[in-house]
Structure formats: C-alpha cells, structure tokens
Amino acid sequence: MLFSPLTRRFLALTALLLTVAFQPLSAQVQLGIAGGANFASLSDIRTEESAVSFDNASAFHIGVFLDLKLGPLNARPALYYLNAGALFNGTSVIQDDNFDVSYVTIPVDFIFNLGLGPIKPYFFLGPEFRFFASGDVPEDVERGLNDFVMIGSAGLGIRINVPVVGITLLPQLRYSFGLSSYTRSSYEVQGITVDANDANVRMWLLTLGIGF
C-alpha cells in the first residue's frame, strides 16, 4: 500500500484546502526568508535482539517562502534545507553514530488568521514533502533510509507588521510528524538486521521568518 489511511486522509484535507485557497482571486504575494532551530526524536526500532532507542537531536533549518493571501486562507509554500542533526546518536547498533542527516523539505502551510491589527496570531497546518539530501551518512545506513518522507505539520505563529522598515516578522512554533516511514521496513546495519516498520521522525521547529 503506497500510503497509510492517515496519510490518505491528510492528503484529502490538503486537496480541500488547496481548492478553497486557490480560487480565482487577486493574490497578494510576499517573499521571505526564514530559519531557526529544530529538535527531533526518532521512534524506536527493533533489531534481532532487542528494541533500540535514540537520543534527541538538535540542529537547524534555513530557507525561503512565499506568503500568498488568497481568499479566506493564506497559503505559504516554502523551500528549506533541514539539518536534522545526529538522529542516530545514542545507540550501540551503529558504532559511528555521530553524523548529521539532512533533507531538502517543501512544507505547504495553510494559515488561519486569529486576529486583526499590526500583531496577528495564526494557526497553520499542512503537508511537508521531505527529500533525503545528506552525503555524510555511512553506506549501510543510507541504504536503509527512504529517499522521500511524507510529513504532516501544524503549529502557531504571530504576524508582526513593522511599517517603519516595511517588513513582516513571523515567529512560529511547528510540530511535524511522519506520515510515512523514514526508513525501509527491514535492512542491515553493520551486519545487524533492523526491523523498522512505520518508524517516523517527530520534530519541533522554532522559526523566525522575515517577509519583504
């Protein structure tokens, strides 16, 4: 099965939001840059002998976004370089586990504004399309990673207009969760068989965006 029932429901909601947001209305478009810190944890996996847990990992993300004001919803597609950090740290299964895992990621957020005035809180949710990018991963570990991971995310943010300098500040907190597995269902690492069905990455991201 290509997608789980949860993933299919999330994609159906995304299609509905796209239909509502991209009505034939004049759009106001704002280009911006964003970056911040992220804190990730991997779900447990199993080897031939026992369950394996990992330490939490912290790293960074940086990229660009478009803020589209379209009808009743705002849409904010973005392109990020996401360094997820040392995701596999803290286990004896991988002897050299202190390496970073990086992705190119494309979140598409649908934004619901919660206030008026120069400071506007908002809620957002949407899908994220994450593509493996790092070349610094041991070969046997890289073989076990999926090249593409489907992610769901939701969070809260604040839109702060700064008219004196003509920019918009967009601090936000995002929680992302895997809708598809980040690894293949079964693979070998340093001679040990790993069973990682439905393994996923959970991540908190603190981001500051600047719209121009």
Nearest in space to 12 (alpha carbons), one of 149, 182, 152? 152
Rounded Cα distance between 42 and 13, Å, is: 26
Rounded Cα distance between 175 and 67, Å, is: 20
Tokens 């002897």 map to which residue?
95
User: How does pLDDT run along the chain (212 residues), one tens digit per residue?
Assistant: 444 555 556 556 656 555 554 554 445 889 999 999 999 987 766 655 655 667 788 999 999 999 998 766 899 999 999 998 877 776 655 555 567 889 999 999 999 988 777 889 999 999 999 999 875 667 777 777 888 999 999 999 999 999 889 899 999 999 999 888 887 766 666 555 666 566 678 999 999 999 99
The 10s digit of each residue's pLDDT in 24-65 is 444 588 999 999 999 998 776 665 565 566 778 899 999 999
109-130 burial code (b ≥16 CB/10 A, e <16): bbbeeeeeeeebebebbbbbeb
Determine if residue 190 is left, alpha or beta; phi over 0 gives left, psi from -120 to 50 gives alpha, anything else beta: left
Cα angle value 97/57/82 (rounded, 5°): 100
